[in-house]
Amino acid sequence: MKNPQEMRDVYIVGIGLTKWGFYEDQACYDFGSEAIFTALKDAEMSWREVNAAFCGSVYQGTGSGHQAVKEVGLTGVPVVNVENACSSGGSALRLAYLMVASEVYDVVVALGMEKMPRGPIPSTAFRPWELASGFNIQVGNYALETVEYMEKTGVTEEDLARVTVKNRKNGALNPNARFQKPVTMEEVLGSRMVAEPLRLLHCCPLADGSAAAVLCSRDKLRSKARGVKVAASVLVSGVYGDGMLPSGMVDSLLHKPEVGMAELSAQQAYEISGYGPEDINIVQGYDTTVPSELWGMEKLGFCRPGEAAGLLRDGKFGLEGALPVNTDGGLMSRGHPLGATGLGQICELVTQLRGEAGKRQVKKARVGLSHAMGAGPNSSVTILTC
């Protein structure tokens, strides 16, 4: 197996993000192709320079990436569709990264896009009997993990609500977010119960949307100042015995692994990049429901199990804190177009590392980490540096 450290450097040179919301009058390929155009313009590149495209989506049917690329130009480039549930965008980015790093291609586009079905996520990452038993309700699955997490750590409903309040506050500064209005603790704790203990405002809203990134080798960089280096891009698709209820996987009681899926993905990313959690100064975490941002921070090694809620309370994860998390409002504000989410996180990291985040700009953001996980199961971690 080749060590990514021994391969050539890869840069993200262009990003494109459509405003996330509901596009009743547009097809997915409409706003998907728009993200590609925006990313190319940002990269000061033309589509003819692109060697390949990896397109993440979940619910768009056969060849959805091709539908988007058709609107940009069938120039003979290979298009590969990537369905990896909530990690589809992150997985598309990883494939693009590996193709450039390994010198197969010089310029590759990673696209994530989704036009979401309305209502709760109709996840099919389950066996037929689990579907028929009502176990594919992802809020319920996160609720069960939350019950156990709260029991183990003493995290309270107020702690959970505090994540929502923080993220919606950040989202109010993000013109691309679906929700740009802050919420109060009272509003979160008074919102309707979906699956105890998770209320509506503990759960990310869905949205349609797309995000794209142009990756290239150093010699193709137009602007050294705007290129953001991919320090690591890893994917771990499950570790036996580490429960992931949104994928129908329970903990093994007899053989629980020492290192779980999310922990392993973080360890690999730190090893490849040479950075540790102490070097990271901005995080895009995975707040599909707010408790998963808290335990995510713990699993990524930013603090010990059970400590994240206290650090959040003390302001560490706020925009002005020592380690801002979900600076664009996260899934809670952006919304969650499954296939686009991972690349939406990347777009925010690149914007921050370039110093172009405006009112939500984090001071001295040099090394950023994004984490997307979910059904499959998958855990993808990307580390970027300027």
Partner 1 sequence: MSDDSKQPISLMEGFWSQAVEEGGPRLLGSRCTSCGEVYFPPKPKGWCVHCQQYTLETVPLGARGRLAAATVVRQAPAGGFYHGPVPYAYGMVDLPEGVRLISQIASDNLDDIKVGGPVELVIRPLYTDQEGREVTTFMFQSKA
Active site amino acids: 86, 336
Scanning 24-32, 141-149, 172-180, 369-377 for contacts with partner 1 by CB under 8 A, the matching segment is: 141-149
Of 155, 97, 108, the residue nearest 297 (C-alpha): 155
At closest approach, how far in Å is the CB of 242 from partner 1? 12
The helix/strand/coil state of 381 is: strand
Residue 187-216 contact track with partner 1, rule CB under 8 A, x = bound: -----xxxxxxx------------------
The helix/strand/coil state of 72 is: coil
Q: At what angle do helices 157-171 and 290-299 cross, to 10 degrees?
A: 100
What span, in angstroms and rounded, lies between the C-alpha atoms of 317 and 167? 10
What span, in angstroms and rounded, lies between the C-alpha atoms of 9 and 269? 15
Per CB under 8 A, contacts with partner 1 among 97-136 are: 117, 119-124, 128-136
At closest approach, how far in Å is the CB of 293 from partner 1? 19
Residue 240, interface with partner 1 (CB under 8 A)? Answer: yes
- What is each CA distance from 70 to 47, 55, 67, 77, 377, in whole angstroms? 12, 13, 5, 11, 31
Integer distance in angstroms from the first to the last C-alpha of the chain?
27
At closest approach, how far in Å is the CB of 114 from partner 1? 15
Residue 292, interface with partner 1 (CB under 8 A)? Answer: no
What span, in angstroms and rounded, lies between the C-alpha atoms of 250 and 212? 34
Which helix (H) or strand (E) segment holds residue 272: the answer is helix 261-273
Which is nearer to partner 1, 135 or 270 (by Cβ)?
Answer: 135
| Strand extents, DSSP E, the chain | 10-17, 52-56, 79-82, 107-114, 193-195, 198-199, 209-217, 228-236, 282-284, 367-374, 378-385
Residue 234, interface with partner 1 (CB under 8 A)? Answer: no
Residue 148, interface with partner 1 (CB under 8 A)? Answer: yes
Scored b (16 or more CB within 10 A) or e, 107-132 reads bbbbbbbbbbeeeebebebbeeeeee
**Residues facing residue 114 across a β-bridge:** 209
- What is each CA distance from 306 to 155, 180, 279, in whole angstroms? 7, 30, 21
Residue 250, interface with partner 1 (CB under 8 A)? Answer: yes
**Residues facing residue 198 across a β-bridge:** 195
At closest approach, how far in Å is the CB of 65 from partner 1? 24
Please state the φ and ψ torsions of residue 173, each to the nearest 5 degrees: -100, 5
At closest approach, how far in Å is the CB of 151 from partner 1? 8
Q: Which of 2, 48, 224, 255 binds partner 1 (CB under 8 A)?
A: 255
Owner of token pair 């050294």: 224
Residue 61, interface with partner 1 (CB under 8 A)? Answer: no
Total interface residues for partner 1 by CB under 8 A: 43
Which is nearer to partner 1, 250 or 322 (by Cβ)?
Answer: 250
Residue 151-170 contact track with partner 1, rule CB under 8 A, x = bound: x-------------------
Which is nearer to partner 1, 107 or 161 (by Cβ)?
Answer: 161
Scanning 60-68, 79-87, 107-115, 248-256 for contacts with partner 1 by CB under 8 A, the matching segment is: 248-256
Which is nearer to partner 1, 147 or 272 (by Cβ)?
Answer: 147
Residue 251, interface with partner 1 (CB under 8 A)? Answer: yes
Q: Which residues bind partner 1 (CB under 8 A)?
A: 117, 119-124, 128-137, 139-140, 143-145, 147-148, 151, 192-198, 240-241, 243, 245, 248, 250-255
